[in-house]
Amino acid sequence: MELEGLKMSRSKSQKITVEQFISSMIPLIDMEKEAEISASLGLSSTRSLHASQKRGSSIFNLKCTDAQTGLMGKTLLEFQSNKGDVLPAHKFSTHDVVVLKPNKADQGSSSLGQGVVYRLKDSSITVAFDEIPEDGLNSPLRLEKVANEVTYRRMKDALIQLSKHKGPAVEMIPVLFGEKLPTTTKKIMQFSPFNKTLDHSQRDAISKALSSGNVFLLHGPPGTGKTTTIVEIILQEIKRGSKILACAASNIAVDNIVERLFPYRVRLVRLGHPARLLPQVLESALDAQVLRGDNNSLANDIRKEMKVLNEKMLKSKDRNTRRDIRKELRTLSKEERRRQQLAVIDVLKNADVILTTLTGAASHQLEKITFDLVIIDEAAQALEVACWVALLKGSRCMLAGDHLQLPPTIQSAEAEKMGLGRTLFERLANLYGEEVMSMLAVQYRMHELIMNWSSGEFYGGKIQAHSSVAEHKLWDLENVKRSSSTEPTLILVDTAGFEMEEKKDEEDSTMNEGEATIAIGHALRLVESGVQACDIGIITPYSAQVTYLKVLRGTEAKLKDVEISTVDGFQGREKEAIIISMVRSNVKKEVGFLTDHRRMNVAITRSRRQCCLVCDTETVSEDSFLKHLVEYFQEHGEYLSASEYGH
């Protein structure tokens, strides 16, 4: 089994010392930073502005169409293309750090301002700036993606702190490096659940988490209610009087926990740039809570007083009067800053749980705060170095994730090869196994035919489908007709023998036009049978195929709400129907990075009621793992040839 193979690949006794870890990570962080800067700015001499545009890391010929103040004092600027209704192809996504420049400015020229992408539509991009750029907004503009260097600085600072072996995590550090054994309370922790619908495996995991002394791993295969379990653990820990820091690698995962905690009325604070938060969690944000606090009201009164004095000073001709006013302004300014600080301290001190991204845990606002428990969600997708930013603030930790889904995204292939991508979750799973880990075993997403393949290949056949989903079909959905397209749970469309060979695009990414046409054709059949377009996702491992699929989608108005993305873009998501285009089709039978089995685990398990696999079975079956997948679909699903889609 895949799980056993991963465990066997590293002996349990294999350990790394704190010193070895720190000395190996420092150069790898630098390599990754350089790779990200190179990818985002295209700084090498051979890469021109034109190349940066082609790679999608710059958007040219923009006009500023709207400016709003809001979002806790930030300025939101909306940009549209000067050349047509739709933005050119790009690789920008929400939360990216960007700089705004005049359209024709040189690559290294200074920017008009730096901001964070707040909203993206086909026709516009909205960016949140701390303050409105002073000039230049009336002429043609461009946006460039930039590397967020703060992240790398914070990771390095965490390594320096880790080397000192001090602070609240002093007892936990040797356990996480295998120098001391983890501790647990011997008795099984009984608890009265806040959520009465928890299943047996969730209850067992919570009980084990509550009795853990230093470290606990929550292993959550796809669809098994990992976030539900995390929320219950947080509530139980608050009940015990714990102060908790809850983190994840991505903003969306942090917001997900905030949303799920919100109905329980716990005292929570969400740290982070407002542009990176979901609108529904904004009232939990630190800035919003500070604005509502007593100390901030006093700070506001002081600001009003300062405004009056400033006006008075401007009008006064007398030098002595102006000097006295300046003196008074300095005193008031000092008091205003103190009040602001007190307002922040009040909010953070009174919180039961503070939520932020991993690198957000290095915020100066948390400098003097220690925690009883640090929880890290998505831990199997987070760099271990990033985890330490948060871990150093607490005396116990809980990591939740699944090391059999996608690993962290790393820009530098060399740094990845040298160990940057090996996660703390996987390392501890290999070091201690079931001693500190519980796996959730009931899933609430997939039809059991979709689930059984993943369960057998990755999880030792231990996952069960909950009765509410085990046999659900597409045609059970409202207004969906039972048809040859909506009836099957698994569909394999085989392109072998139809001369649908892959090809490379300008960026050397792989695409397959024939497969894309079939994937769009199947989506169209589903929509014509009544499936809503927004309930369909098309996944493919290659960015060139994503781009081509989006072009084809643009020709069919009915499909505009079909979501198309890479496998990585779909991690943590689900759709009623998923269509997977595997792309690879060549005489050499090369399958490229499809050999990363975890990627295929993620792709298949995004689907709830139907999974359609489009591939050249002759090419992909060259890999034994993918051959098993093809055989599973042939045995348990509907086998179609490309000719049935008009090829």
The radius of gyration of the chain from alpha carbons, rounded to an integer in Å, stands at 27
pLDDT of residue 53: 62
What does 18-85 look like in DSSP terms, one character per residue?
HHHHHHHHHHHHHHHHHHHHHHHH--STT--HHHHHHTTSEEEEEEEEEEEEETTTEEEEEEEESSSS
What does 258-311 look like in DSSP terms, one character per residue?
HHHHGGGT--EEE-S-GGGS-GGGGGGBHHHHHHHSHHHHHHHHHHHHHHHHHH
Q: Please tell me the distance from the alpha carbon of residue 322 to that of residue 29, in angstroms, as a whole number.
A: 52
State pLDDT tens for residues 564-579. 999 888 877 899 999 9
614 backbone dihedrals φ, ψ, rounded to 5°: -110, 115
Whether 594 shows a pLDDT value over 50: the answer reads yes
State pLDDT tens for residues 112-151. 888 888 888 888 999 988 776 666 778 899 998 887 788 8
Whether 71 shows a pLDDT value over 70: the answer reads no
Mean pLDDT of the chain: 88
> Helix or strand or coil: residue 476?
helix
Whether 346 shows a pLDDT value over 90: the answer reads no
Q: Which residue has the higher pLDDT, 56 or 129?
A: 129
pLDDT of residue 84: 77
Q: Please tell me the distance from the alpha carbon of residue 249 to that of residue 380, in angstroms, as a whole number.
A: 9
Enumerate the H helices of 504-542 as residue ranges: 513-528
pLDDT of residue 591: 93
Q: Please tell me the distance from the alpha carbon of residue 563 to that of residue 575, in angstroms, as a whole number.
A: 9
Q: Which residue has the higher pLDDT, 286 or 398?
A: 398
- State the average pLDDT over residues 29-47: 69
pLDDT of residue 177: 96
Distances 173 to 165, 237, 364 between C-alpha atoms, Å: 8, 21, 22
Cross-strand pairs, 100: 113, 143
Q: Please tell me the distance from the alpha carbon of residue 176 to that of residue 238, in angstroms, as a whole number.
A: 24
Among 72-76, 90-94, 398-402, the range with the most confident prediction by mean pLDDT is 398-402
**pLDDT bracket for residue 193 (50, 70, 90):** very high
- State the average pLDDT over residues 307-335: 77
- Could you tell me how many residues make up the chain? 647
Q: Please tell me the distance from the alpha carbon of residue 462 to that of residue 596, in angstroms, as a whole number.
A: 22
**pLDDT bracket for residue 326 (50, 70, 90):** confident
State pLDDT tens for residues 353-374. 999 999 999 988 898 899 999 9
Place of tokens 């004095």: 309
Distances 298 to 23, 289, 329, 330 between C-alpha atoms, Å: 48, 15, 16, 17
Whether 47 shows a pLDDT value over 60: the answer reads no
pLDDT of residue 69: 61
- State the average pLDDT over residues 447-465: 97
215-219: strand order across its sheet? 268-270, 353-357, 244-248, 373-377, 397-401, 215-219, 437-439
20 burial (CB, 10 Å; 0-12 / 13-18 / 19+) is exposed
Please enumerate in sequence order all residues whose Cβ is within 8 A of that of 401, keeping only pairs 6 or more positions apart, or say none: 218, 219, 220, 226, 376, 377, 378, 379, 380, 381, 382, 423, 425
- State the average pLDDT over residues 174-197: 91
pLDDT of residue 389: 97
Q: Which residue has the higher pLDDT, 420 or 340?
A: 420
State pLDDT tens for residues 384-434. 999 999 999 999 999 999 999 989 989 899 999 999 999 999 999 999 999
Whether 6 shows a pLDDT value over 90: the answer reads no
**pLDDT bracket for residue 297 (50, 70, 90):** low
Q: Decide: 359 and 386 in contact? Cβ < 8 Å.
A: yes
pLDDT of residue 472: 98
Largest Cα–Cα distance of the chain, in whole Å? 93
